[in-house]
Amino acid sequence: MLILPAIDLKNGKCVRLYQGKFEKLDVVGDDPVKIALDFKKAGAEYIHMVDLDGALDGKIKNKEAISEVIKTSQIPVELGGGIRNLSTVESLVQLGVSRVILGTAALKDPGFVKDAVKKYDGKIAVGIDAKDEKVAVNGWTNISNVEYTDFARQMEYIGVKTIIFTDISKDGTLGGPSLKQLSKIQNSVSCRIIASGGIKNIEDLQNIDKMGIYGAIVGKALYAGNIDLKSSIELFR
């Protein structure tokens, strides 16, 4: 199982949210490049990044910080937040982003996802963020009426190969992942599933790994010192 350490960007700084609420924000580092290099030193093979300003505003806002992380760390980066059109996808691929995560735009405009997959294939992933099993959009500020597994099946039909699934109620809580919802999405599609939200310790990672999940994103548990990145990467390699 792939372990993806997380860098969430707000105003160029690394932050963590609690249950996706922007008013419950902690700055965990001023220098995303330094954090990325620490991840590299620990053996990270992939970094998960989110442009939180972009998620709110609908356009990439932390391009400079993202570019520096990619250039300096030389580790593949997947990025989500504020990617609403094909020209943005193109500019991010040119910037060196290895996997572009579509979220709000995927729900609102499936045709855009289809075009992006046609052009970039495996470089396109879809982020499905759910609350009470319904898909959330616009930086998690709006909840749709779309059931998350129905949406996953729709994305698979379009040709999406990787889905990042986040249970918003668990995100940033260190309350453990939603194994039931993860199992449900894992059994609904044949896409590679990356688990996100609530992971607090190695035991949580072991439970996710047992389900045959492709990857797990670790954020708050790393910054809180609950999980040692180096040993967890070695354990699941």
> Which of the residues are catalytic?
8, 129
112: its two tokens = 């855009």
- HSE toward the beta carbon, residue 130, CA cutoff 13 A: 26
Where is 156: in which H helix or E strand? helix 148-158
The three-state secondary structure class of 59 is: coil
Strand partners, 26: 16
Beta-carbon contacts of residue 104 (< 8 Å; ≥ 6 apart): 55, 58, 84, 137, 138, 139
Distance CA 37, CA 3 (A): 16
Q: Comparing C-alpha atoms, which of 108, 118, 88 is closest to residue 100?
A: 88
Confirm if 54 and 103 have CB atoms less than 8 A apart: no
Give the DSSP per-residue string, 68-79. Answer: HHHHHH-S-EEE
CA angle (195, 236, 159) in 5-degree steps: 40
Beta-carbon contacts of residue 38 (< 8 Å; ≥ 6 apart): none
